[in-house]
Chain A
Amino acid sequence: MTPTSTASVASAHLPMTKALNGGLRQAMLNDPKVILMGEDIGPLGGVFRVTEGLIKEFGDKRVLDTPLAESGIIGTAIGLAMRGFRPVCEIQFDGFVFPGFDQITSQLARMRNRHEGGLIMPVVIRIPYGGHIGSIEHHQESPEAYFAHTPGLRVVSPSNPHDAYWMMQQAIASNDPVIFFEPKSRYWPKGEVVYAESGIDLHSSRVVRTGSDVTVVGHGAMVSVLLQAADIAATEGITLEVIDLRSISPIDFGPILASVEKTGRLVVAQEAAGFVSVGSEIAATVAERAYYSLEAPVLRVSGFDTPFPPAAVETHFLPSPDRVLEAVDRALAY
């Protein structure tokens, strides 16, 4: 199902929060079974204001301020989906998803399989995630690998307002559960949202900048870091091909493999800890499928394998353009 927009203008220059809000609103207009659930998403509009104004427009039967209990939110969303609704749950911060972990991994992800296809589980779980916002513990994490490792879930993360607007609608239209990771540090920069078309499939990766020396891949907030790195590299005569992963499960390897065949070098960047991560999966798969194209080992640039540190030292922890370029240099040295 390709969502279509009823927006009266062709495009708008918006921050991601407003684009997500528009995507949610459009999905609610398209389908009366779409309901929103979460903590503080009603009159407050969510702590990031992503749901601002929606309770006013759609009422408290479609925008449910819930008790403060993540397992409760996910577990009741499952029941509502069994009843034919399409719940969109907001988890307030990345680090707060874990109280709902069993309901997501043991229940939501397996419900259709357990029912032998007798039902669908069209539940979207929105999770603001990632660092760069200088916040306290549990507010800057990148837990996407846990969910990508869980069969039955789909996991996506937009990097810009246009994708946020359309991917939100596509995620809601999906008949499978989708974990929707929203990069907090990209909530506020504005970008062009084009209303005329949905662009590409929810689970497609996309080349966002072409180059010929090294392929760099990332998702969410990392895409803007990769683009900055590409700008710097260009001043030194090195061109990076930047790929926005967009979907973490499934991963669309087509554009990545095509790019590696061209460049022979791949650097994968992510905020999450590198051990058993999305980057590890990409490295392994590319090694399996593009072995003869590779001129260098696939390198990962990740957060360290530590808890997310105090914000005062987060710049040392988070992959920066320079950390990406350090890996690019190593790849080129082979």
Chain B
Amino acid sequence: MPATQNDAPARTIAPSTPTVANGQSGDPSRADGPTVRLLSPTGDFTPSAAADEYLPYLDRLSEADYRRFYRDMVVVRAFDTEAANLQRQGQLALWVPSHGQEAAQVGSAYATRPQDHVFPSYREHVVGMIRGLDVVDILRMLRGVTLGGWKPEDHGNFHLYTLVLAAQTLHSTGYAMGMQLDGSTGTGNPETDQAVIVYYGDGASSQGDANEALVFAASYQTPQVFFMQNNHWAISVPVSRQSRSPLYLRASGFGMPGVQVDGNDVLASFAVTAKAMDDARAGLGPSLIEALTYRVGAHTTADDPTKYRDPEQLAYWVARDPIERFRAYLRGRGIEQEFLDSVDEEAKDFASDTRRRALEIVGPEASVIFSNVYAEPHPLITEQEAWLRRYEASFEEGQK
């Protein structure tokens, strides 16, 4: 399978397990491998052997859910493309594409309940959308008018993006510890019991914070799911440099269940996360999900993947596109073309509406520099704010 081989030296550490030897995450297409997969790359419903225990979770999905999954994936990709364009045109400071990771994100997001808390990294735009965030709030941050941009409590408990890799894993674990301490989880009532899902990636998995979060989560048995999107690249560094073994196997070392899912299969991503979140709410402790996916675009608009990536590898993953796959599946189920067309239309409208609203974003006043540095009065801040006001007013007086 040369297409998923990364460019690390092929030093064999375990000849008997060739998919492990190169730090590879395995072939998600293999029906007999460890990967939970429900849909084949061509959209056939052919569950892998590892998928058995997750099949019942599909019973929760209605026809409307299937349509919503598809709609959200298509809409966020159009949004993503438009946002990248905005950056190229100087309207955003930076853009962080999610192209290729839509299924992992949509599937996992729909496995959360309203009372759950979501700690994203910084690429989970559609997770925010599903939790009720206006994506223009994300653009405000990337346009440089705010460092945060939304109130989690008003947007489905979707917490702020965190730009220091893996820092949010610890915040999420602490938050989940708090749920335990205030008795909001594990009571046996799935309608009210809470849990946390935290998103991070293969690159962040090397950070100390990610590992410390797993230690704390296991020690305190937090109601928490670690959802790791292995998109195979940390900017220019392949996953083989982050790990010599499949990342989901790390879970057992921390003392929690770990599962590898085909992250380009929206149904499998949903089912695996639904079980993990159910278990977390029920008091069965934390678990780790490794979603195998691919960062089809650049890391950010400041990156150029053609300098370090094998086009063959990209082609391999583009052929496993999550949207194409799910569309083929829906077609097989007899979905009407009219629906698919209407989603394309909606996505186009969404993107152009986003562009219009992004251009209307108004910057804050300079006084925002001093707001909320502290909760309580601080003499230095008060003094400096007053000074800046006087200083800037002195120019206005001069013009009169």
Contact = CB atoms under 8 A, between A and B. Distances in A.
Nearest to A106: B164
B147 A113 contact: yes
Interface string A155-187: 000000000000000000011100000000000
Contact of A69 (B178, B215, B374, B375): B215
Given A84-B178, A116-B146, A116-B148, A75 B372 contact: no
Contacts of B148: 114-116, 118
B372 A113 contact: yes
Interface stretch (B168-176, B241-249, B264-272): B168-176
B170 A103 contact: yes
A75 B214 CA distance: 12
Interface in A199-216: none
Contacts of A195: none
Interface in A67-106: 67, 69, 71-72, 74-85, 99, 102-103, 106
Interface string B181-214: 1100000000000000000000000001100110
B372 A80 contact: no
B53 to A, nearest CB: 30
B376 A80 contact: no
Given A66-B216, A106-B167, A250-B379, A117 B174 contact: no
Interface in A105-138: 106-107, 110, 112-118, 120-121
B371 interface: yes
A30 to B, nearest CB: 18
Nearest to A115: B148
Nearest to A82: B175
Contact of A80 (B175, B215, B219): B175
A176 B377 CA distance: 10
A329 to B, nearest CB: 33
A102 B167 contact: yes
A176 B376 contact: yes
B372 A72 contact: no
B88 interface: no
Contacts of A117: 371-372, 375
A23 interface: no
Nearest to B172: A79
Contact of B373 (A66, A75, A106, A151): A151
A252 B167 CA distance: 33
A115 B148 CA distance: 6
Interface in B126-166: 146-149, 151-153, 159-160, 162, 164
B378 interface: yes
A112 B375 contact: yes
Interface in A135-155: 151-152, 154
Given A106-B164, A115-B148, A79 B209 contact: no
Interface size class of B (residues with CB under 8 A): 35 or more
Nearest to A153: B374
Interface string A307-320: 00000000000000
Contacts of A74: 170
Per DSSP, are chain B's interface residues mostly helix, strand or loop, or mixed?
helix
A35 interface: yes
Most buried by A among B162, B219, B373: B373
A69 B215 CA distance: 9
Given A116-B146, A116-B372, A103 B209 contact: yes
Nearest to A252: B379
Contacts of A106: 164, 167
Nearest to B212: A72
A154 B162 CA distance: 23
B179 A72 contact: no
Contact of B173 (A61, A76, A99): A76
A77 to B, nearest CB: 6
B366 interface: no
B374 A112 contact: yes
Contact of A83 (B160, B167, B178, B376): B178
Given A71-B170, A103-B167, A113-B147, A84 B375 contact: no
B173 A75 contact: yes
Given A117-B371, A174-B376, A80 B174 contact: yes
Nearest to B169: A75
B83 interface: no
A113 B212 CA distance: 25
B380 interface: yes
Contacts of B172: 79
Nearest to A70: B212
B174 A79 contact: yes
Contacts of B146: 116
B195 to A, nearest CB: 13
Interface of A: 35, 61, 66-67, 69, 71-72, 74-85, 99, 102-103, 106-107, 110, 112-118, 120-121, 151-152, 154, 174-176, 250, 252
Given A77-B174, A116-B147, 9 more contacts: A66-B216, A67-B219, A79-B175, A82-B171, A83-B178, A107-B162, A114-B147, A154-B374, A176-B375
11 contacts: A76-B177, A82-B178, A83-B175, A83-B178, A85-B178, A112-B375, A115-B151, A115-B160, A116-B372, A152-B373, A152-B374
The 10 closest A-B pairs by CB, nearest first: A79-B174, A75-B170, A83-B178, A76-B174, A72-B212, A117-B372, A79-B175, A175-B375, A79-B171, A114-B148
